[in-house]
């Protein structure tokens, strides 16, 4: 079974930190875009060995801006019967009772909501459309419509955010009783308004020490509340991990449809253009729009060790030996032993895992493990 990702690139406004591909919301474009997604699907569904999709994920952009009849059309066309998990990313202020009822009928059984913070000043700074009361109300609406598999995104390291406001956001998140929380350290991506503001001296980045403290508070509070820390940025109540995202970390093949979407079949990565017009022109003409890159064994190895170490399952050294051979195993073991002595890594029963301290320096550990 494989995964299917569908990118809906429309947003009503740009959040200051966002470097995902998105364009201004255009209701008139939606119908044409969806018809091209269907065309692309028909042309490319054979890229994965068994054309059945265990998970379907609508990401963006803002998929909750897509009229539900178009969403339904997409789900029916790609075949929802075999999908265990169908997720849609939503903005809290798009969640009405009608929307929630309709997405349930369309077959959606999981919602990922970009809340980011429960502090209204922080939300305003990030240029989000919602405030904290709208976010809380949205979770209530989804639950009463029967969608209990809800994930929320939070951000820490926001300029002006304090340990106290971060704790309060976490308390609010826990109180909502959502089964899945993703929490990300704010990053300064090239070309974003956030980076421009920093470079112009208008805002100050949160210090590394504060971000480490925030991460510690996050891990401790969510663990006390019963969440499993199953991936560096992801926490779930037992059994409620994201099946779609977990399949990325397990190298399960997936097809990505739409402008800027990526695909991977276990060996070849495919990239759709991050340009809506170009995507539409190419799919109109050829049924597909992607460029291909055949991964080298070195690239596959780098991705494998990184994704495995990011998860709580860890890096199974026997598995590494079987996939990449003895030389790579010995190289990785030497690096991991060095980090084990420093308390950044544990190795038990042939499985290496990052410790909480190790997560904070994970980029350095990955760099040392990577082959060039």
Residue with the closest Cβ to ligand SF4?
A: 18
User: Measured from the CB of residue 176, what is the shortest distance to ligand SF4 in angstroms?
Assistant: 20
User: CB 11 → ligand SF4: shortest distance, Å?
Assistant: 3
- Shortest spacing between CB 355 and ligand SF4, in angstroms: 31
Q: Is 15 in the site for ligand SF4 (CB under 6 A)?
A: yes
Q: Which listed residue (8, 11, 48, 83) binds ligand SF4 by CB under 6 A? A: 11
18 binds ligand SF4 (CB under 6 A): yes
Kindly state the smallest distance separating residue 271's Cβ from ligand SF4, in Å. Answer: 18
CB 15 to ligand SF4: min, Å: 3
Nearer to ligand SF4, 25 or 366 (CB): 25
253 vs 273, which CB is nearer to ligand SF4?
273
Q: Which is nearer to ligand SF4, 20 or 370 (CB)?
A: 20
Whichever of 63 and 273 has its CB closer to ligand SF4, that residue is 63
* Contact letters for ligand SF4, residues 34-73 (x by CB under 6 A): --------------------------xxx-----------
3-state secondary structure the chain: CEEEEEEECEECCCCCCCCCCCEECCHHHHHHHHHHHHHHHHHHHHHCCCCCEEEEEEEECCHHHCCHHHHHHHHHHHCCCCCCEEEEEECHHHCCHHHHHHHHHHCCCEEEEEEECCCHHHHHHHCCCCCHHHHHHHHHHHHHCCCCCEEEEEEECCCCCCHHHHHHHHHHHHHHCCCEEEEEECCCCCCCHHHHHHHCCCCCCCCHHHHHHHHHHHHHHHHHCCCEEEECCEEECCCCCCHHHHHHHCCCCEEEECCCCEEECCCEEEECCCCHHHHHHHHHHHCCCCEEEECCHHHHHHHHHHHHHHECCCEEHHHHHHHHCHHHHHHHHHHHHHHHHCCCEEEECCEEEECHHHHHCHHHHHHHHCCC
Q: Least distance from C-beta 152 to ligand SF4, angstroms?
A: 13
**Residue ranges in contact with ligand SF4 by CB under 6 A:** 11, 14-15, 18, 20, 22, 60-62, 91, 114
């Amino acid at each position: 079974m494989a995964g299917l990702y569908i990118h809906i690139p429309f947003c009503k406004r740009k959040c200051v930190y966002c470097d995902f591909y998105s364009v201004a919301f255009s209701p008139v474009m939606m119908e044409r875009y969806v018809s091209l997604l269907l065309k692309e699907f028909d042309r490319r569904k054979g890229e994965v060995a068994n054309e059945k999709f265990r998970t379907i994920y609508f990401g963006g952009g803002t998929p909750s801006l897509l009229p539900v009849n178009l969403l339904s059309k997409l789900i029916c066309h790609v075949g929802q019967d075999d999908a265990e998990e169908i997720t849609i990313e939503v903005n809290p202020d798009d969640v009405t009772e009608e929307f929630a009822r309709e997405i349930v009928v369309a077959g959606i059984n999981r919602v990922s909501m970009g809340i980011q913070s429960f502090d209204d000043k922080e939300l305003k700074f990030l240029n989000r459309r919602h405030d904290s009361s709208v976010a809380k109300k949205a979770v209530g609406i989804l639950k009463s419509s029967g969608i209990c598999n809800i994930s929320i995104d939070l951000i820490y390291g926001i300029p002006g955010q304090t340990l106290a406001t971060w704790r309060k956001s976490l308390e609010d998140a826990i109180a909502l009783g959502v089964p899945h929380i993703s929490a990300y350290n704010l990053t300064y991506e090239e070309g974003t308004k956030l980076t421009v503001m920093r470079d112009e001296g208008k805002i100050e980045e949160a210090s590394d020490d504060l971000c480490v403290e925030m991460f510690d508070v996050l891990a401790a509070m969510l663990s006390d509340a019963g969440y499993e820390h199953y991936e560096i940025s992801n926490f779930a109540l037992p059994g409620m991990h994201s099946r779609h995202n977990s399949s990325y970390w397990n190298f399960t093949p997936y097809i990505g449809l739409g402008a800027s979407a990526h695909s991977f079949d276990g060996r070849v990565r495919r990239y759709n253009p991050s340009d809506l017009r170009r995507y539409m022109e190419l799919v109109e003409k050829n049924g597909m729009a992607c460029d291909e890159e055949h991964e080298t064994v070195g690239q596959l190895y780098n991705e494998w060790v990184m994704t495995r170490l990011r998860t709580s399952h860890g890096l199974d050294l026997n598995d590494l030996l079987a996939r990449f051979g003895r030389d790579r195993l010995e190289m990785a073991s030497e690096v991991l032993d060095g980090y084990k002595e420093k308390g950044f890594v544990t190795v038990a029963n042939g499985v290496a895992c990052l410790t909480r301290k190790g997560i904070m320096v994970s980029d350095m550990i990955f760099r040392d493990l990577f082959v060039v």
